[in-house]
Structure 1
Amino acid sequence: MTVDVQPLDPKVIEVLSGISTATLTTVLLKKGLRNVWMRGTRPIREGQPRLVGRAFTLRFVPAREDLATPESWSNPISTRAAIEAMPEGVICVADAMGVTDAGIFGDILCARLAKRKVAALITDGVVRDRAGVLGTGLPVWCQGAAAPPSVAGLTFVNWQEPIGCGGVAVFPNDVVVVDDDGAVLIPAKLLDAVMATAEEQEALESWIMGEVEGGASLPGLYPPNAENKARYEKSRGR
């Protein structure tokens, strides 16, 4: 049974679009979550924007010869059917088990994702038809490219169920933020608390950067001691 996608408040997207994944990992660390950065999720091209969206999950398992066939692409449970189930604005997160010798999606599937206005594709695996994928304009984070199709190394089994991507547990409707440093997961239940803390953390670090650029030394500044905290609060008009 798949999970319906919950709409994401535009305000959440607005706020988190201004928060780096580096800041988010720090905020989540302070809340006790260390394993939130998806390993191997590298931008396929430079200059991709920071993106925010609900996770729409895809799960692959190791290839089995009777299941992983070109004919399976026409099955009711297939990557093609999963794409047609994706609503606008989600971030597709695909668990490819770190397999790097079989591309989970190529140019045609990525073109359909772009046409459906899926925000991005994130996987701990690879894509194929790299030049064509780039041509679709779809933002992609992955481990690179490989010529063989997915069925050469993987079997697609379902969508919108818990997965592991890059060593991180991802549940449908968790929130994903992705930028040049890769993809970070925010558990759905922690979203409000993370947003509130992240905005403050980003503002503080921006102030600290200004102090560093002005010649200030790091001890007592990063992290700030009581004196510098007071200076920061004053700069914020508090």
Structure 2
Amino acid sequence: MKTVVVRNIPRADADVVKRLGALGASTVHEAYGRSGLMRPYLRPAWAGGEAAGTAVTVLAQPGDNWMIHVAVEQCRPGDILVVGCTSDNTDGMFGDLLATSLKARGVMGLVIDAGCRDVKSLREMGFPVWSKAISAKGTVKAALGAVNVPVVCAGVNVVPGDAVIADDDGVVVVGRKDAAEVAAKGEKRRADEEGKRGQLAAGVLGLDMYNMRAALAKAGLVYVDKPDSD
């Protein structure tokens, strides 16, 4: 592993990232061809947090948050810090002090494939975190890693500058060059869903709205008026 900090990275367009954030993780994931979704073990440290931003990436050693401190300097307003580890780890590598530093730089949130702590303080600060675990276990500052290199976080390859959308449904990463196209597809999908929501609210069944009956019959589904008697 090359121990390097890349200072200048291209970032996804801020207006496009904002549009993606308005769609939410689920819609973005669908609009991206069901790609980019991090593994579901990555959960919000506190419920209700939402974030959309551009990825500043960290490759850290397990149980060592030294490179997270290094990465803070490279963050700009509108970024999300994404931390991957060189091997599996659940230690509390991030807490309210680092969150205070990131918030001062306009960072939107943190995604970390390890543990975090100080959850009550994070919630009170309104700083959203998505992590693999909640753990009070402390960490050290001893081993070098890298900042703003491609990392794998919760099963997804994240390139610095990619768009990151996170909420209670999970975390989705959209490639920087794909972001505008995915936003447009997601907005079309959302408009279509609004129409369907209106029909469902009026009492139309999904069976009919999606024309499922013929396919169900072809698959062999049979309706009977009462159970077979013994």
The alignment's TM-score, normalised by the length of structure 1, stands at 0.77
Which residue in 1 is equivalent to 2:97? 108
Secondary structure of the residue aligned to 1:122 is: strand
Once the two structures are superposed, what CA deviation does each residue of 1:28-71 show, in whole Å capped at 9, x if it has no partner? 12xxxx4411123312222223x2211111112346xxxx5xxx
Secondary structure of the residue aligned to 1:104 is: strand
Sort the Cα spacing of 1:3 and 1:81 in 2 relative to 1 into closer, same or farther, 3 A. Answer: closer
CA distance in 1, matches of 2:62, 2:21: 35
Secondary structure of the residue aligned to 2:32 is: helix
CA distance in 2, matches of 1:223, 1:81: 55
In the TM superposition, residue 89 of structure 1 has moved relative to its aligned partner by 1.1
Secondary structure of the residue aligned to 2:114 is: coil
Report the AA paired with residue 125 of structure 1.
Answer: A
Which residue in 1 is equivalent to 2:157? 169
In the TM superposition, residue 88 of structure 1 has moved relative to its aligned partner by 1.3
Aligned residue runs from structure 1 range 13-52, under 5 A: 13-29=17-33, 34-39=34-39, 40-49=41-50, 51-52=51-52
Secondary structure of the residue aligned to 2:22 is: coil
In the TM superposition, residue 128 of structure 1 has moved relative to its aligned partner by 2.2
Secondary structure of the residue aligned to 1:45 is: coil
Which residue in 1 is equivalent to 2:221? none
Q: Which has the larger radius of gyration?
A: 2
Moved over 6 A (4+): none
CA distance in 2, matches of 1:6, 1:220: 47
Residues 2-11 or 120-129, more deviating: 2-11
Report the AA paired with residue 123 of structure 1.
Answer: I
Q: Percent same amino acid among aligned pairs? A: 30
The alignment's TM-score, normalised by the length of structure 2, stands at 0.79
Which residue in 1 is equivalent to 2:89? 99
CA distance in 1, matches of 2:11, 2:152: 23
Q: Is the 8 A contact 2:163 2:175 kept in 1?
A: yes
Unaligned runs of 5+ in 2: 213-230
Answering whether residue 206 of structure 2 is matched by residue 205 of structure 1, we say no
